[in-house]
A and B are shown apart, each in its own frame.
Chain A
Amino acid sequence: MNDQIFLQLSGFTYLLAMVFYMSSAIFKSTKIGYVATTLSVTGVLLGTVAFVIRISLLYKVSGSVLESIPIANLYESLQFFALLLMVIYLVSEFATKIKVLGIFSTCVAGILIILISSINAPADVKPLIPVLQSNWLIAHVLLSFIAYVFFTLSAIASIFYFILVSKGRQDPKYILWVTTVSILLTLLLSLIIHLIFKEILFISMYIGLFAVLFTSLLYYGKNIPYYLSSFSKDIDKLDRYIYNFTVLGFIIFTIGGLIFGAIWAENSWGRYWSWDPKETWAFITWLVYAFYLHARLYKRFDRSAVNAIAILGFIVTIFTFLGVNLLLSGLHSYGSN
């Protein structure tokens, strides 16, 4: 059985859920909200089916359950990341009852799944090469991904925080959220267009789309905080959400990403730290979030400045997760194909 069809279905379901989350926020309808949540859960179930099929395919070639967890190449990691993001998002939705963050969570999950087909990430089922045959693989990669998901959710909550607190077009906070939302939407739309019309040159379309979205959001977006004003009472809750996800992400990233990674590297490459590009960028990510934690203690930084660091951290995280593997070569290169 093929896992790709289930994966694509889950991506489609997430995007459908995104539309419902958006409508539920704008029309303040709890009923539409229930539909959105149901769709998200369906998407997660479809994604889980794809994940389990992949495990069984890998088990056939490797013969070991521990070596059959699909997290060893780009296709598998994007698929797994999207699934993990939605699972953790849904848990947080049930715990905090903040549904509006579903808009961005489903958007990011959808982007990741379309990205898989857009960049033609090879989906061949291949057993692990020798260096990856280690129990550290699961501990290191799984925990790193959980941390990335937490950083993603903290950034999503920060974007929403900026939408709520921004005042007028001159406010830098306004520019900040308009820019980040435009980037996300441009990415999503370009990927969808690219999927339908393959021959369009990607970069030029991306720049064009971004210009259109950015300008229209800049001019007509000032009503969005008004539509969402009912969430303003949640700002403290949102702040707590951002803080908790960042701190949890930081702890898990430090232990699972950096420390477990270092111990594994010591065991297989004979060097716990070698300034390989992935390590370097993981260190940069760690520094940015350490800065977030310290900035919260200083009066010099107000709440907005601190939450802006959470968004910066997310940008660095994306580069650590994907950019390094796609653009730089190094010891972690097996993630690039």
Chain B
Amino acid sequence: MKEKLYKFCSFLSSSKFAMVISAGILILAITGSLIPKADVAVSSSQLASNIVSVLGLDHIYTSPIFITLIALFALNLILCTLKLIIFDINKLSDIDNIDFKDHGRVAIKHAEVISFLKATHFDIKQEENVITASKNSFGKYSVIIIHTGILIVLLGALLGYLFGFKGYINILEGSSDNVAVLSTGEFVPLGFDIKVNRFDVKYYDNTTRPSAFVSDITISKESSDNDSNTSNDNKSLNYILNVNSPLKYEDVSIYQHSYGFYLNKKGARFLFDVEIDNISKKYEVRFNESFKIRDNLFGKITDFAPALAVDDDGKFSTMSEEMVNPAILLEAYSMEGDPVLRSWLLSKQKTSGDFSKDYGFKMTFDKLYGVQYTGLSIKKDPGTAVVYLGFLIISIALILTYLINYTVIFIHLTKDEETGEMIFYKVFKQRKFGRSVPAQMFYKLIDKNEKDI
């Protein structure tokens, strides 16, 4: 029984097992990367899409098979690393197992060898007539450290998988929300309110190429009944959320993720300036709300569009669902209610609101407010710090492994009747083509003495 268990363990830690597991992971990963494309292609065929969903091919990376393979990979890595620790740290200096007769021999004065090893800064250990000279001893830990780093990353991923979540939340400009939706459809209460004060898509000048997606948000903690008296609870935090600059708040991170247009006549606000005789006045009105432009002239905004363009015939058409060039329709009428003017104002075409010649006022349309929602993604992942620690360990250890070439030279001091003092030696190098090769100097010493004979 014990023997069987030992055999099983040594199989789990074998390179053969590592290869089988890696091959399995590779095949599943490749299949997974091809499926999204294939999914579109086979969507017409019910059978094919049934096969995809029954086999779980549409969510390979979260499937039990894939996770099991990753777990087995981690197990193999743990056992291999333990093996490395036992072999590299203990076995290598076990000089009893080395048969020097199999290795190099050269006639050389013992004192010369020892002074050479000292001059080239080898760590020397001498037991009777056997010398163990080592250099760059840290190198024997470096591979172990890389493997440990990978395991730490996997541990961090596991922590995130078990205790974290990733959800989404869409909030209309001007409103607020406090519940995120997970991809599984579950709701997660956040414990605080997110209010979107303003959302803007900024464009590079004269193009429809976006330059920034910006959400101006305010986070406020819901005050619970018990401690509503404490002033701290009403603290709120303002933040300008940008792609690539997320907000960390308590234990979650909030990211600018997406956005969209929402035809919301009730909640829409129109922000514009009216200029009469060089005096400008700011307005904020609702849909169909009457406002006074000047004496005996009133206005109403009766329609709006996210992106209005004028074609060659002078006709208007909506060119995009995105707010590339928002526009509002102004209808002006006299005190008696007689229509006076009906015209589209385009935010990017400032002349479209210039009525100074005929009606004595100029209107500059500034913003269409409340008809866009911002999509935020909300994440809680207690494993991220652990993953980063693993990253740091891997990076440093990889570089050190390349730079440091652990080298051990075993030397048996002996004598020969013909040549006098001589040595048997064996050189162990961690890497044949390392960046530094401490053994090279030793080889030079050997070469020199061989020529002397």
A interface residues, Cβ below 8 angstroms from B = 61, 126-127, 129-131, 133-134, 239-240, 243-244, 247-248, 250-251, 254-255, 259, 262-263, 266-273, 275, 277, 280-281, 283-284, 287, 291, 294, 298, 324, 327-330
Interchain CB contact (< 8 A) of B211 among A127, A243, A255, A267 = A127
Are A269 and B29 within 8 A (Cβ)?
no
Nearest CB of chain B from residue A235's CB, rounded to whole Å: 13
Are B33 and A130 within 8 A (Cβ)?
no
- CB-based nearest A residue for B378: A270
Are B26 and A129 within 8 A (Cβ)?
no
Per the bound structure, the CA–CA distance linking A129 and B208 in Å amounts to 11
User: Known: A131-B244, A263-B388. Contact between A328 and B36, CB under 8 A?
Assistant: yes
Instruction: Decide yes or no whether B253 CB sits under 8 A from chain A.
Output: yes
Interchain CB contact (< 8 A) of A243 among B36, B377, B433 = B433
Are A328 and B37 within 8 A (Cβ)?
yes
User: Known: A127-B204, A298-B15. Contact between A270 and B26, CB under 8 A?
Assistant: no
Nearest CB of chain B from residue A258's CB, rounded to whole Å: 9
List of 10 A-B pairs having minimum Cβ-Cβ separation, nearest first? A130-B243, A270-B255, A275-B61, A277-B33, A280-B33, A134-B244, A270-B379, A259-B391, A268-B244, A240-B433
Per the bound structure, the CA–CA distance linking A131 and B259 in Å amounts to 14
CB-defined contacts of B1 to chain A, threshold 8 Å: none
CB-defined contacts of A283 to chain B, threshold 8 Å: 29
User: C-beta contact mask, B367-382 vs A, less than 8 Å → 1, else 0?
Assistant: 0000000000101000
Q: Is the interface of B mostly helix, strand, loop or mixed?
A: helix
- CB-based nearest B residue for A277: B33
Give me 8 A-to-B residue pairs in the complex whose CB atoms sit less than 8 angstroms apart, sorted by A's number: A130-B244, A131-B243, A268-B243, A270-B379, A291-B19, A291-B22, A327-B37, A328-B37
Interface size class of B (residues with CB under 8 A): 35 or more
Are A329 and B36 within 8 A (Cβ)?
yes
Interchain CB contact (< 8 A) of A329 among B37, B204, B246, B255 = B37
CB-defined contacts of A240 to chain B, threshold 8 Å: 433
CB-defined contacts of B37 to chain A, threshold 8 Å: 327-329
CB-defined contacts of B36 to chain A, threshold 8 Å: 277, 328-330
Nearest CB of chain B from residue A162's CB, rounded to whole Å: 19
Instruction: Decide yes or no whether B54 CB sits under 8 A from chain A.
Output: no
Nearest CB of chain A from residue B273's CB, rounded to whole Å: 28
Are B255 and A269 within 8 A (Cβ)?
yes
Are B34 and A328 within 8 A (Cβ)?
yes
Per the bound structure, the CA–CA distance linking A45 and B395 in Å amounts to 34
Q: Is the interface of A mostly helix, strand, loop or mixed?
A: helix
Per the bound structure, the CA–CA distance linking A272 and B399 in Å amounts to 22
Nearest CB of chain B from residue A314's CB, rounded to whole Å: 17
User: Known: A251-B398, A277-B33. Contact between A270 and B166, CB under 8 A?
Assistant: yes
Instruction: Decide yes or no whether B148 CB sits under 8 A from chain A.
Output: no
Using A129-B209, A328-B36 as known contacts, list a sample of 10 further A-B pairs with CB atoms less than 8 Å apart, ordered by residue number in A: A130-B243, A251-B398, A254-B394, A262-B391, A267-B245, A275-B60, A280-B29, A280-B30, A281-B33, A328-B37
CB-defined contacts of A247 to chain B, threshold 8 Å: 402
User: C-beta contact mask, B158-183 vs A, less than 8 Å → 1, else 0?
Assistant: 00000000100000000000000000
Are A255 and B398 within 8 A (Cβ)?
yes
Instruction: Decide yes or no whether B32 CB sits under 8 A from chain A.
Output: yes
Instruction: Decide yes or no whether B297 CB sits under 8 A from chain A.
Output: no
CB-defined contacts of B394 to chain A, threshold 8 Å: 254-255, 259
User: Known: A284-B29, A329-B36. Contact between A267 and B209, CB under 8 A?
Assistant: no
Task: Name, among B22, B33, B377, B388, the residue most crowded by chain A CB atoms within 10 Å (CB to CB).
Answer: B33
Per the bound structure, the CA–CA distance linking A108 and B12 in Å amounts to 42
CB-defined contacts of B61 to chain A, threshold 8 Å: 275
Instruction: Decide yes or no whether B414 CB sits under 8 A from chain A.
Output: no
Are B244 and A284 within 8 A (Cβ)?
no
Per the bound structure, the CA–CA distance linking A251 and B379 in Å amounts to 30
User: Known: A130-B242, A280-B32. Contact between A254 and B398, CB under 8 A?
Assistant: yes
Are A133 and B384 within 8 A (Cβ)?
no
Are B244 and A248 within 8 A (Cβ)?
no
User: C-beta contact mask, B137-158 vs A, less than 8 Å → 1, else 0?
Assistant: 0000000000000000000010
Per the bound structure, the CA–CA distance linking A266 and B379 in Å amounts to 10
Are A251 and B15 within 8 A (Cβ)?
no
CB-defined contacts of A131 to chain B, threshold 8 Å: 243-244
CB-defined contacts of B104 to chain A, threshold 8 Å: none
Are B402 and A248 within 8 A (Cβ)?
yes
Per the bound structure, the CA–CA distance linking A247 and B409 in Å amounts to 25
Per the bound structure, the CA–CA distance linking A239 and B211 in Å amounts to 48
CB-defined contacts of A271 to chain B, threshold 8 Å: 166, 379
Instruction: Decide yes or no whether B387 CB sits under 8 A from chain A.
Output: yes
User: Known: A268-B255, A271-B166. Contact between A130 and B210, CB under 8 A?
Assistant: yes
Q: Which of B26-47 contact A (CB under 8 A)?
A: 26, 29-30, 32-34, 36-37
Are A255 and B395 within 8 A (Cβ)?
yes
User: Known: A61-B204, A240-B433, A262-B391. Contact between A130 and B402, CB under 8 A?
Assistant: no
Instruction: Decide yes or no whether B192 CB sits under 8 A from chain A.
Output: no
Interchain CB contact (< 8 A) of A267 among B18, B244, B402 = B244
Nearest CB of chain B from residue A158's CB, rounded to whole Å: 15
Instruction: Decide yes or no whether B213 CB sits under 8 A from chain A.
Output: yes
User: C-beta contact mask, B183-224 vs A, less than 8 Å → 1, else 0?
Assistant: 000000000000000000000100001111100000000000
Instruction: Decide yes or no whether B105 CB sits under 8 A from chain A.
Output: no
Per the bound structure, the CA–CA distance linking A312 and B114 in Å amounts to 47
Per the bound structure, the CA–CA distance linking A239 and B433 in Å amounts to 9
Interchain CB contact (< 8 A) of B26 among A250, A268, A272, A284 = A284
Are A270 and B257 within 8 A (Cβ)?
yes
Task: Name, among A272, A283, A287, A291, the residue most crowded by chain B CB atoms within 10 Å (CB to CB).
Answer: A272
- CB-based nearest B residue for A255: B395
Interchain CB contact (< 8 A) of B209 among A127, A254, A280 = A127
